[in-house]
Amino acid sequence: MKRMIVLAGGGTAGHVYPVLEVIQALRNLDPLLDFAYIGNQTGPESQLVRAEQVPFYGIPAEKLRRYWDWRTFLLPFRIFKGTVEAFGLLRMLKAQAVFCKGGYVCVPVALAARFLRIPIILHETDSIMGLSNRLVAPFAQAVAISFPRPSLIEAGKNTRIVYTGNPVRREFFSQKKIERVDDRPCLVIVGGSQGAHAINYFIQVILPKLLERYRVIHITGPQEFSNFRQFTRTDVYEPVAYAEKIVDLLAQADLVISRAGGTIFELAALGKPTILIPIPNSANNHQRVNAEILLSRGAAVMLNERQLQPAQLLKEITTLFRDSMRRQKMGERIREFARPNAAQDVATLILNSIEDRA
């Protein structure tokens, strides 16, 4: 009899891509497995999941707000509705294990799995566990973590905490040679799938100076792309609204400017020296803590957005480009956070949870 594994997570592409890698690893371990994905019915994950020929089911999921908002009154009803729908789906699908990657949709799915006594495996991307994962963790058989820092992870009394690393798309580990447009050092700026307004502002101010010396690839995000399109020069400046194949852009980089979320692990796989500018208002300051962990290992430079001035950013970029040995060392250190077998290790945890239940 085929075994059914249900996967849940969503809100951003950063939640979904690791799940897709886990699915592929599970297929490699057992080609007879069946899969289904439960996500937010209004989220971006459905298109990505269906492209991998995995059935997608959307349920209502409400943001877990840490601040006052009138919609907080609706939260218990939305969670209850989502849990009821997830309960029905898990029974219909005859799920034998549930994998939760994070995002608000995991709360009702995990509650339903708990009621049905279905084993739950949870994965946390950040060094500090997000609110939805903190709610799910007490029900999980195991929590897989991306950073080797378990003291910042909350879990149930009988829950195993396993350092697997963060699953990253396989192409980030294939070191293919990218043909360079010219001999200029290449700076790649990425602010996540939606861009980063503050980083874009700093870059806009210093862009003329940057283009005197460097080739710049700039992932602006779709909302601010029009502000930078006018500066396009195919030889030295390439603004991009959204990168479907971000690996091809990052592979060209001699230096990267980035936020400090899940992109860290893609940069680690590529061994790219990086300036991290954490989002200042991220939940529990998790991006700052992520960046501090890399900073403490000499794997990245961290700049505080609230105190940062464009001239300071330009100086940091210039200093790093002048010091090739330091960039090489940073690239070696950040690569230590890459775990090529992360997806397989998570997949093994999921399969073991089924065996333990039998």
Beta carbons of 222 and 197 less than 8 angstroms apart: no
Cα–Cα–Cα angle for 168, 273, 199, nearest 5°? 90
Please report where in the chains the tokens 């939640």 appear, as a residue. Answer: 15
Beta carbons of 33 and 54 less than 8 angstroms apart: no
DSSP letter for 278, please: -
Fold match between domain 4-168+339-357 and domain 172-337: yes
- When comparing pLDDT for 161 and 357, which is higher? 161
Cβ neighbors of 161 (< 8 A, separation 6 or more) are: 142, 143, 145, 150, 153, 155
For the chain, the domains span 4-168+339-357, 172-337
Write the pLDDT tens digit of every residue in 186-221.
999 997 655 588 999 999 999 999 999 999 999 998
pLDDT confidence of residue 106: 93
**Of 299, 290, 297, 295, residue with least CA distance to 331:** 299
What does 130-147 look like in DSSP terms, one character per residue?
A: -HHHHHHGGG-SEEEESS
State the average pLDDT over residues 272-276.
Answer: 98
Q: What's the predicted TM-score (pTM) here?
A: 0.91
pLDDT confidence of residue 245: 86
| Pairing mode, strands 215-219 and 237-240 | parallel
Cα separation, 112 vs 51, whole angstroms: 26
Instruction: Among 9-23, 111-125, 167-181, 277-291, name the most confident range.
Output: 111-125
Cβ neighbors of 128 (< 8 A, separation 6 or more) are: 152, 283, 284, 285, 286, 289
State the average pLDDT over residues 282-303.
Answer: 92
Write the pLDDT tens digit of every residue in 129-178.
888 899 999 999 999 999 986 555 666 666 789 999 999 999 999 866 67
pLDDT band at residue 77 under the 50/70/90 scheme: confident
CA dihedral 213, 219, 221, 225 (to 10 degrees): 50
Instruction: Determine whether domain 172-337 maps to CATH 1.20.210.10.
Output: no
- When comparing pLDDT for 41 and 236, which is higher? 236
pLDDT confidence of residue 65: 53
Which 3 state secondary structure label does DSSP give 27?
A: helix
Beta carbons of 252 and 270 less than 8 angstroms apart: no
**Mean pLDDT value across the chain:** 89
Per-residue pLDDT for 249 more than 70? yes
Sign of CA dihedral 24, 29, 30, 35: negative
Write the pLDDT tens digit of every residue in 30-72.
999 999 999 987 777 888 899 899 999 999 876 655 555 656 6
Burial 78-91, CB ≥16 within 10 A → b, else e: bbebbbebbbebbe
The helix (run of H) or strand (run of E) holding residue 17 is helix 13-29
Per-residue pLDDT for 321 more than 90? yes
CA dihedral 249, 252, 258, 263 (to 10 degrees): 60
**Of 41, 42, 25, residue with least CA distance to 144:** 25
**Of 111, 43, 37, 46, residue with least CA distance to 79:** 111
pLDDT confidence of residue 155: 63
Please state, for a pLDDT cut of 70, what percent of the chain lies above it: 90
Q: How far is CA 136 from the centre of its chain?
A: 18
Cα separation, 75 vs 85, whole angstroms: 15
Q: How far is CA 2 from the centre of its chain?
A: 30
pLDDT band at residue 358 under the 50/70/90 scheme: low
Least confident of 83-87, 173-177, 334-338: 173-177
- When comparing pLDDT for 73 and 276, which is higher? 276
pLDDT confidence of residue 192: 63
What does 219-265 look like in DSSP terms, one character per residue?
A: E--TTTHHHHHTT-BTTTEEEES--TTHHHHHTT-SEEEE-SSTHHH
Instruction: Determine whether domain 4-168+339-357 maps to CATH 1.20.120.640.
Output: no
pLDDT band at residue 327 under the 50/70/90 scheme: very high
